[in-house]
Structure 1
Amino acid sequence: MQGSHARQRMEALQDAVSKIDRRHAAFARHERLRGEETGGVAAFGIDSVDAVFKDGFPIFALHEVRCALTRDIAAASGFLAGLIAGCMKRRTGRIVWVCDPACRLDGGQLFPAGLAMFGIDPSRLLMVRPLDFKTSLWASDEAAKCSDLAAVVFQIKGNQPAFDMTATRRLMLKAQQNGLFVCILRQGGEEEANAAATRWRVSAAPSAADPQLENGIGLVRLGLVLERNRNGQTGQWTIQWNHNRHGFEHVPADHVDRPAAAFHRPGGAPQMGQVMAFERAS
């Protein structure tokens, strides 16, 4: 009996040591990733946006990008793609994009050429399309455990009761522990309290005319509102994505132009012709 008790104590001690070793290995891996990304922060390249973050935009955290209207999901997805490309310039891992099945009914699917325009190599993208929301939440949790990834995106529709503060806190902790950029992409719905470090509301904005192409449409423009910022102030801007240099640019208020007129389309409704009244046939 005494030998069995000693053996059990030894096994318990070995388990405790192995847990400490795994924790130290995870911490070392996280510190290495932080060093690769200049301290775990990034810059937008827009002075007015960078100024609202005290120590830089936090990469290894949970963030939220949302659009109030479902029709703006393309604008929100484009902003998120540019954000991932800017934050992950030195990371070569895959990007796991978990999509709630309800999103595909209204928002469609990602277009590879569109992602390339926003600076993301489509071959790095791994799309996960579960059959229900519960499985989608499980898949995002499992993906956030993988420290070799570049980013994890969890796209949901509206406000899901199962995706509460506890669920978002789990994602935040895993993002910090594993050195990951994790983002909630909310398609429609209202703003709600969660554990995200930042929350951005994105909408489509009118693009200016293309100065190099007659009757062409210029750079993609977005209306951007920083609704929540745990480490600084909030703000509102109009920005555009420059696909030539793969970066965001600020559009001053006095440069927000009206959209270019449609090509070969009359400016108003055509004038009606002569109206004649006929007697009703008996």
Structure 2
Amino acid sequence: MVSSAVARETVFALRREIARIEGSLPERLDAPGEEIILLRHNGHPPSPDGVVETGVAALDTALGNGIPKAALTEIHGRHMRDAGAVGGFVLALASLLLKKTPRRQVLWIGASGFFAEAGLPYAHGLSRLFGIAPEELLLAEAPKPGDALWIAEQAAALKELAAVVLELAGNPRQLDFTATRRLHRRAAEAGRPVFLIRQSADRQATAAPLRFAVEPAPAGTRRILGRPLAGSIGPPAFAVTLDKNRMAPPARFILEWNADERTFGHRSPEHHDAGPSGRPQDPVAVVSPPRHRPDMAPPAGPRLAYGRFRFPAAAGEQA
């Protein structure tokens, strides 16, 4: 027991020294018998004007008051089918940002091939669910990932924008550590956040101090006057994992987006509308089970190439 405490104290001392040397990198240290220590550049935590507060106390505390504005932030989607949830989470962050910085615009950059597969933000949905007017969101469609990265690097230096969003799929070779460091530096100089969305990508070393992993979460039950409405569907929910953060160990949150108030709510796994797995207790099946066929489609067979069919020449015609 004593050796374990000594080892932990040694680790905390090393982390303090690393934070002191790096200067700009924050560190949250929870040593045995001590209060939580926050190490910041010049010893001061960021002001409320320098962060995007999510409104969820537990998440904001883990982030050190909120998501820093003058920084690069990664948002990962494990599968391409989660692109809608990942995009919705970033749009919610943009909505929180535009509430404090009105009359500004968000630039959303992506490659044309990805937009063709995952789709573009819908103007009516932007206004209805996130309170973002269509003219507040600018879309830049680049032919290749390298072009999209170049646009993001140039736009990240513009102080007129509220935020820059770069959405890429996979692990393009142009997006290396040096490229992310340039994005992070330009975001710090402009004082505006850059959100790097990586859909269906393997994790790799980047200069972003924060990384979220986002996937869709089952919606809870809609509540009317504080009481659950049976058979209803609640607000959209996101399963957000904070897996890269020097302020706290990895943590997972179930966030619900309130479109009317434009704020997040925290739904704990012990919520009475959810079962032990965190899913709502709804006995109704989403899709009727198949009766005369297997659950999954059979695998595709081999593909054969056939020659072009030629009609036989009619009598009296030259073949």
Alignment of 1:43-62 (within 5 A): 43-62=53-72
Alignment of 1:172-187 (within 5 A): 172-187=184-199
Secondary structure (helix, strand or coil) at the match of 1:253 reads coil
Q: Which residue of 2 aligns with 1:223?
A: 239
Q: Which residue of 1 aligns with 2:165?
A: 153
Once the 2 structures are TM-superposed, how far is the Cα of residue 178 of structure 1 from its aligned partner? Answer: 0.8
Between the aligned residues of both structures, percent identity stands at 29
Aligned residue pairs total 235
Once the 2 structures are TM-superposed, how far is the Cα of residue 153 of structure 1 from its aligned partner? Answer: 0.4
Deviations 1:130-174 (A, max 9, x none): 111221111111111211110100010011111101111111111
Q: Which residue of 2 aligns with 1:97?
A: 108
Alignment of 1:41-80 (within 5 A): 41-80=51-90
CA–CA distance in structure 1, aligned partners of residues 292 and 182 of structure 2? 62
> Which has more helix, going by share of residues?
1
Secondary structure (helix, strand or coil) at the match of 2:83 reads helix
Deviations 1:152-211 (A, max 9, x none): 000100111111011111111110101111110111111111011211010011112334
Q: Which residue of 2 aligns with 1:258?
A: 280
CA–CA distance in structure 2, aligned partners of residues 174 and 261 of structure 1? 51
- Do the aligned partners of residues 106 and 177 (structure 1) sit closer, same or farther apart at CA in structure 2, a change above 3 Å counting? same
Secondary structure (helix, strand or coil) at the match of 1:150 reads strand
More relative contact order, 1 or 2 (CA 8 Å, 6+ apart): 1
CA–CA distance in structure 2, aligned partners of residues 101 and 83 of structure 1? 23
Secondary structure (helix, strand or coil) at the match of 1:248 reads strand
Once the 2 structures are TM-superposed, how far is the Cα of residue 108 of structure 1 from its aligned partner? Answer: 1.4
Secondary structure (helix, strand or coil) at the match of 2:157 reads coil
CA–CA distance in structure 1, aligned partners of residues 154 and 194 of structure 2? 12
Secondary structure (helix, strand or coil) at the match of 1:96 reads strand
Secondary structure (helix, strand or coil) at the match of 1:99 reads strand
Q: Is the 8 A contact 1:45 1:248 kept in 2?
A: yes
Q: Is the 8 A contact 2:97 2:162 kept in 1?
A: no
Once the 2 structures are TM-superposed, how far is the Cα of residue 80 of structure 1 from its aligned partner? Answer: 0.7
Correspondence 1:107 to 2:123:
no
CA–CA distance in structure 1, aligned partners of residues 260 and 179 of structure 2? 38
Secondary structure (helix, strand or coil) at the match of 1:66 reads strand
Unaligned runs of 5+ in 2: 1-46, 294-319
Secondary structure (helix, strand or coil) at the match of 2:89 reads helix
Q: TM-score, normalised by structure 1?
A: 0.76
Q: Which residue of 2 aligns with 1:200?
A: 212
Unaligned runs of 5+ in 1: 1-36, 273-282
CA RMSD of aligned residues (A): 2.4
1:240 to 225, 236, 256: 256
Once the 2 structures are TM-superposed, how far is the Cα of residue 59 of structure 1 from its aligned partner? Answer: 1.4
